[in-house]
Structures are given as C-alpha cells and as structure tokens.
Amino acid sequence: MQSIPLSSPDLTDAERQAVSAVLLTPYLSMGSEIKAFENAFEALTGCQCAIGVNSGTAGLHLCVHAAGIQEGDLVITTPFSFVASTNVLLFERAVPIFVDIETLTGNIDPHLVEAAAHDLAARGHAARRWLPPRGASETAPLKAILPVDVFGQPADMDGIQQTAQSYRLKVIEDSCEALGAEYKGRLAGTLGDYGVFAFYPNKQITTGEGGCIVTNDAQAAGRMTALRNQGRAPGDTWLQHTYLGYNYRLDEMSAALGRVQLKRLDELLIKRQQVADWYANHLQGVEGLEIPTVASTTTRMSWFVYVVRCAPELDRSAIAAALGKRGIPTRPYFLPIHLQPYMVEKFGYRPGMFPIAEDLGQRGLALPFSSVMTQQQVEYVCEGLREVLRNS
C-alpha cells in the first residue's frame, strides 16, 4: 500500500540555500529579504505596493483596517471559504453578510452581491432579509465586499466591481488560494482595492507561514505597513507607536524562502496544472463523481486543491474512510462558515440558509494534490476512488 500526503510543499536546494544564507547574517527580521520579496510581488502584480505579513489572515485583517471597517459595519462575503475570510471581520466586530455561491465554481454569486448591496444600501425593511437572524442592525452601514477566489479560481469580479462602484464599497479580494490565477487575462489579487495572498505549506508557494497584501492605494499601504509593525509610523523610534498595531511581520528566513518560490511560480503552476489534468483524464465520466469545472472567465487556473463532488446519494464519509484505509487521505472542502459552532452561536444561523454552499460543502472531497505528485500516484488515487465508488 502506498501512502500519499494530502498536500506537499515543493522545495529545492535553491530554497534551502536562500534560507541558510540568511542564517549567516545577523538580520533575521526587517532586513533586505522582506523588501526584495515585496518588490518581487510588485513586479509580478504590477501593483504599486506589496506588504509582506506573517499570514494570509494577518494580511486580510490589515485590509479590513485599511477599508475603514468598524464595529457594526456590514460586509458582503461568502460562506463557502476558509474561516479566515470571515474571522477578520469579526476581529473588528463588523458583521459578515453572507450571500450564496455559484454552483459551477463555488465562488460568490455576483447577482446576489448586487441584490444584497441594493437592499442593504436602502437600509430598513428591505435590508432585513440579508441580515443574520441576530447580531446585526438593519440601519448599519454597508462598507465593503470581500470575495474569495475559491480553490484557485477567481471570483466573477466584473459584476462585483460594478456593484462596489454603484454603492461606493471597498473590495478586499481574498486571493489566498489563487496566486497566479487570471480572470479575463487579469491577475487575481489585483482586481479589488486590496488583494491578499497566503503561503502556508499547502498553498501554491510557501514561506512556512506568511502572506502578502497588494494594493495601489499608497496611503492605505502606509497605514498597513505601520500596523504590521506594532503601529510604528515612519519616523517613530522602536518604542514610539503612533497607532495601536500588531506584530504581523514576516521574518527574513520566510521572505528568502518565498523569494525563491516566487521565482519558480510559473514552473509550480504548470506542474499543478499537469496533476489536475491527470486527475481529469482518470476521473472523467466516473459515475457518482463530478470533477472541478473551470469557468470561461478563468483564463488561467491556479490549482490550489483538487476537489471532486460526490453524488448526493453517496455517503461521503464512508468513501473517505475507505480511501483512508488505502493510504489515500482526503478532506471535506469546505464546511460552510455560517454553520461553524461559533457562528451559529453568535448570529443564529441555521442549516438551509445558503443551500448551494451547504450542498457543495456536503459533497466536496479534496483529493491528495501537490506539484510533486507523480502520474503514478494520481493513478493510484483514481484507481482507489473508482473501486471504492463501485463498492458503495
């Protein structure tokens, strides 16, 4: 029996040497590596400012600050995401307004975003139906939209941008799963006011822990740079703090690792595409299984995870258990955010409120996926899956 990891970083001697080189200097934080890492992100995205941080969550949190989102403010976002995209709103006591998603991509539905913005901007009675059962005021201002590029596929950003313009909303694009993806030829993360990437070891590139914000808003970037560094504004000494800030700094070893990884981005995305293609070839037409779909607006997919959908009548957890016995780990992807226990407690959400997100949440199963997977490993997973499905 083989044992295949669910995900794996893709590291070479170049990464190891870059990290070792930092360790030969006394500069382990706030040195030249983070600056170079940020410059590389500015070059890649064409954005004026890139700000390295110590996680994607930290990056999103700083964007929430930059967008002026405060206690009680409303922000339209998706329940079908990793929890961080909603948690950063809760950190500031803002209220996530969930709208349901598109079946094809799992991304937020731009028509629902428009409808919600329309009603919420009017406030009062019309706003009521978009609010959570409790914990929000119908007279609260709508401040922003926070779409997520789910599984490496950009959200349908044109409609979202149009809504944002109509109602003067900020857009925070959570591209933590979509580094290098393209929407109608434009790079994910550059399509809103602020974009955020993340570099946990299961992402397309890794720094161990880390993230990066990109924006063309230089003023906001200045504020986020200060907040990242304990609230120190330019000119502040080590013990002067103009703002209430955080320690969200990315260290030099991580930045050095990330710089090498970023240089390899194209290679890594091509390898991930190849693995996704192998999966598609082996799983196409398998009964009881839907393979991922790429929308026509996605001109480049940046495969983050490979999530298949089990037919509704199948028992997903039994399938996962049977695969586990064959050394094939899997993971349900995602458990919708509104049904996480702390969200139910805080806002009173109930099953059935976001049926598409819940349906995909019940049927999605992430298979082992990384750029270092071999064709033979993919075949082993697919053979196991086909066999398990035949027996169920």
Ligand X SMILES: *Cc1c(COP(=O)(O)O)cnc(C)c1O
**CB under 6 A: which stretch of 6-14, 17-25, 50-58, 135-143 binds ligand X?**
50-58
Closest CA to 83 of 53, 52, 57: 57
Nearer to ligand X (CB atom), residue 38 or residue 119: 38
Cβ(181)–Cβ(152) under 8 Å?
A: yes
Cα–Cα distance between 288 and 310 in angstroms, integer?
A: 6
In sequence order, the β-bridge partners of residue 171 are 145
306 near ligand X (CB under 6 A): no
84 near ligand X (CB under 6 A): yes
Q: Which of 19, 176, 221, 227 binds ligand X (CB under 6 A)?
A: 176
DSSP reduced 3-state for 142: strand
H helices, E strands: number in the chain: 14, 14
Nearer to ligand X (CB atom), residue 183 or residue 380: 183
User: Phi and psi at residue 203, in whole multiples of 5°?
Assistant: -80, 175
Amino acid present at 51: I
User: Smallest distance, Å, CB 78 to ligand X?
Assistant: 9
Give residues 130-149 in contact with ligand X (rule: CB under 6 A). 148
Q: If binding means CB under 6 A, how many residues of this protein chain bind ligand X?
A: 14
In sequence order, the β-bridge partners of residue 300 are 182
211 near ligand X (CB under 6 A): yes
Q: Which of 19, 95, 171, 198 binds ligand X (CB under 6 A)?
A: 198
82 near ligand X (CB under 6 A): yes
Structure tokens at 122: 């009017």
55 near ligand X (CB under 6 A): yes
85 near ligand X (CB under 6 A): yes
- Asked whether the bond before 334 is cis by omega within 30 degrees of 0, the reply is yes
177 near ligand X (CB under 6 A): yes
Give residues 216-275 in contact with ligand X (rule: CB under 6 A). none
DSSP reduced 3-state for 299: strand
Cβ neighbours of 247 (radius 10 Å): 10
Nearer to ligand X (CB atom), residue 136 or residue 305: 305
**CB under 6 A: which stretch of 43-51, 77-85, 95-103, 236-244 binds ligand X?**
77-85
Nearer to ligand X (CB atom), residue 72 or residue 201: 201
* DSSP structure class, residue 150: G
Nearer to ligand X (CB atom), residue 81 or residue 261: 81
Strands 74-77 and 95-98: parallel
126, HSE (Cβ side, Cα atoms, 13 Å): 9
The footprint of ligand X (CB under 6 A) covers: 55-57, 81-82, 84-85, 148, 174, 176-177, 198, 200, 211
